[in-house]
Amino acid sequence: MLGVSNLYLCVLSVSFTITDGLVAGQVQLESSYGGSNRTVKLGSSFDFSWNYTGDLNSVEWGTKDREILEVNVTLFTLAIGGHSAANVSQYIGRCLGSWNRQSPGQVKFTLNRIKAVDNQVFIFKFVSDDFAASNVFDVVQLIVKGPPVVEIVPPALSTLRGVPANFTCHVEGFPLPTIKWKKQNGSVEREISANSADFKINSHRGSSQLIVQNASTADSGYYICKASNYVSDTARAFLGVVYPVMYEDHGLCPTSFVATKGESVLMCCPVKGFPPPQVSWELPNGTQLETESTVLHVRVNTESDFGCYRCTARGLEKNFLTANITIHEKKSNTNDTKIILTDGVNFAWEKVQGASNYLIRLLENKFLKENSLLGCGTSTSVEIPYSSLPFKSATEKSKKRQLEVVIEVWAYGNTKIIGDGIRYTNVEIRADATTSTVSLIILLLSFVIYNLQ
Ligand SMILES: *[C@@H]1O[C@H](CO)[C@@H](O)[C@H](O)[C@H]1NC(C)=O
Ligand SMILES: *[C@@H]1O[C@H](CO)[C@@H](O)[C@H](O)[C@H]1NC(C)=O
Ligand SMILES: *[C@@H]1O[C@H](CO)[C@@H](O)[C@H](O)[C@H]1NC(C)=O
Ligand SMILES: *[C@@H]1O[C@H](CO)[C@@H](O)[C@H](O)[C@H]1NC(C)=O
Ligand SMILES: *[C@@H]1O[C@H](CO)[C@@H](O)[C@H](O)[C@H]1NC(C)=O
Ligand SMILES: *[C@@H]1O[C@H](CO)[C@@H](O)[C@H](O)[C@H]1NC(C)=O
Ligand SMILES: *[C@@H]1O[C@H](CO)[C@@H](O)[C@H](O)[C@H]1NC(C)=O
Ligand SMILES: *[C@@H]1O[C@H](CO)[C@@H](O)[C@H](O)[C@H]1NC(C)=O
Ligand SMILES: *[C@@H]1O[C@H](CO)[C@@H](O)[C@H](O)[C@H]1NC(C)=O
Ligand SMILES: *[C@@H]1O[C@H](CO)[C@@H](O)[C@H](O)[C@H]1NC(C)=O
């Protein structure tokens, strides 16, 4: 095989023949690369240029045949007829050439956006106008260099203990850098061996994946990817290994509530944890439901809403917690005698010894949506006209002219509530019948008069 330096001699010997003046138009290069090396940076561009004498017909730029001094693949041609770039996949759009077509003259080729494939030998064939003259060759070897550029994906990772975690290190550079993984412990960096029990390393061209097979809290910390060719570059990524926790915290919320119908209770499962535990509830009537947080909002509507609520919290590491939370019904004296109130009829209650003031609370029986308060001073009766009820509007739409309500009577002394309030649970408040009856009679009359005409 012919060495590069031999080729150089070959070029020289051709030139010598010409200077002997054997052929008049023989092309001569004033200086040549002569097979020497040129170092170029990945991504940069490189100019090949010559000054020449003689009658130049064309210059062909190509890759060199391994064995002989000849073009193997043509990349670009400068000719009397014009310039042409060849259709070679890795070189499309990267080759340029210029020639001032004088004698003596200048020729220049440019290779842009240097890639790894350009790390090879290029040959330039100078053809003379005179077919009797020999071709002149020049040869250059490009030595491509690209420092490593390293990136770890993801740059930070948080994982649960006991599961695998992985980082991928992407590396660019030429020559292709070698990749090493290291674990940082304080100021000490320890190389991770590819066949260790705790780690697995999958290497590919230009990337390497580090798998922490079973993350433990000791695996937390910085991992370093080091890539080296003629220089080195490193990148760091952080692995945070957390373990799930779940614990009871009875300070969070009470386990017992007292409420009456119509009230709301905000109960919670007495548990905290990371990640937040999954909480499910069993209601007093046996219904199961899940909540997104540890909180359950209960509106006490019916008798069956009192009782025991059981919450179950599930952590990630299969730990469970159950807790009972109870809603007790607020004790009060109830009076379930049927009471019907129409306009003009007072609602009356029993006098309480020592009371200086009474407070009346009205609760709509069926929906328990709203309630209203009436202050009554020392009198033991009050009129509650249907038209004054704040929650009648909902039922008015359905033309209902009566409401079932619960009335609570609370007696106040000078400084405090006296005894338990009395609940009247069976009260019906009706709209005055006369107004609607009157209008019905008027309507009937006008109907008769209309028909008589
Ligand atoms: C050019 O580079 C090649 C490859 O790196 C090397 O083998 C050769 O010796 C170098 N030639 C010269 C003349 O420096
Ligand atoms: C060609 O000649 C010009 C001036 O005559 C000079 O500036 C230039 O550097 C020369 N180029 C080469 C490649 O020798
Ligand atoms: C010449 O080019 C062909 C294809 O482009 C390639 O397969 C071959 O290896 C080259 N030969 C030499 C000696 O460089
Ligand atoms: C370049 O060559 C490829 C295949 O080698 C072909 O598909 C493409 O059409 C060619 N382009 C031109 C401009 O000739
Ligand atoms: C992960 O490590 C823990 C503690 O060392 C061990 O109990 C567990 O079995 C391991 N899991 C796997 C999948 O190897
Ligand atoms: C590496 O982690 C990613 C994201 O967490 C995951 O999709 C992928 O399956 C993991 N690969 C291996 C080999 O564990
Ligand atoms: C980190 O370094 C400290 C002290 O140098 C050592 O005690 C500890 O075991 C090291 N941890 C790991 C995971 O190697
Ligand atoms: C149980 O109670 C809840 C809340 O009051 C209610 O939504 C649900 O319909 C009830 N289920 C049964 C079967 O009564
Ligand atoms: C909750 O109540 C049930 C029965 O009502 C009982 O079996 C269970 O032990 C209680 N759980 C707790 C944590 O108090
Ligand atoms: C219930 O209230 C009504 C009306 O105030 C009253 O007449 C009746 O005696 C009370 N019943 C009882 C058991 O207190």
pLDDT in tens, 302-334: 999 999 999 999 987 777 899 999 998 877 688
**Ligand 7 site, CB within 6 A:** 185-186, 218
Give the angle 152-155-160 at the CA atoms, nearest 5°.
Answer: 115
Which ligand neighbours the alpha carbon of 189 most closely? Answer: 7
Question: With a 6 A CB cut-off, is 323 part of the ligand 9 pocket?
Answer: yes
306 alpha carbon – ligand 8 mean position (Å): 12
| Whether the CB of 143 sits within 6 Å of ligand 1 | yes
pLDDT for position 20: 47
**Range scoring the smallest mean pLDDT among 7-21, 103-117, 162-176, 327-341:** 7-21
Confidence of residue 450 (pLDDT cuts 50, 70, 90): very low
Which among 4, 141, 145 is the best mutation to test ligand 1's pocket, defined by most ligand atoms within 8 Å of the CB? 141
**Which ligand 9 atom sits closest to the C-alpha of 324?**
1
Q: Is the CB of 65 under 6 A from ligand 3?
A: yes
Average pLDDT over residues 6-34: 62
Which is it for strands 381-383 and 346-348: parallel, antiparallel or unpaired?
Answer: antiparallel
Distance CA 164, CA 215 (A): 6
What kind and span of H or E run contains 436? helix 433-452
SS3 assignment, position 377:
coil
For residue 342, give the 3-state DSSP assignment: coil
Query: Looking at 143-147, 244-248, 268-272, 391-395, which range is the least confident one?
Result: 391-395
| Three-state DSSP class for residue 450 | helix
Q: Report the predicted TM-score, pTM, of the whole model to 2 decimal places.
A: 0.57
Contact 69, 10 (CB under 8 A): yes
Q: Name the pLDDT band for 10 (thresholds 50, 70, 90).
A: very low
Say which residue, 363 or 221, is predicted with more confidence.
221
Q: What percent of the chain has pLDDT over 70?
A: 85
Find the ligand nearest to 69 CA.
Answer: 3
- Tokens representing residue 210 in the block: 């580090």
Is 305 near ligand 8, meaning CB less than 6 Å away? yes
Q: Which atom of ligand 10 is nearest to the CA of 347?
A: 5
**Banded model confidence at residue 8, pLDDT cuts 50, 70, 90:** very low
So what's the pLDDT on residue 188? 95
Question: What is the rounded average pLDDT of the residues 376-383?
Answer: 86
DSSP state string for 173-207: EESPPEEEEEEEETTEEEEPPTT-SSEEEEEETTE
Residues in the chain: 453
> What pLDDT is attached to residue 304?
93
Residues near 206 by Cβ (< 8 Å), separated by ≥ 6?
170, 171, 172, 176
Query: Which one of the ligands is nearest to 210 CA?
Result: 6
Q: Residue with the nearest Cα to atom 10 of ligand 1?
A: 37
Ligand 3 pocket test: pick from 64, 70, 73, 74 the residue with the most ligand atoms within 8 Å of its Cβ: 73
Q: Which long-range contacts (CB under 8 A, 24 or more apart) does 160-164 make?
A: 160/215, 160/241, 160/242, 160/243, 160/244, 160/316, 161/215, 161/216, 161/217, 161/241, 161/242, 161/243, 162/214, 162/215, 162/216, 162/243, 163/214, 163/215, 164/211, 164/212, 164/213, 164/214, 164/215
Q: Considering every ligand atom, which ligand is closest to the CA of 8?
A: 1
Neighbours of 430 (CB within 10 A): 14
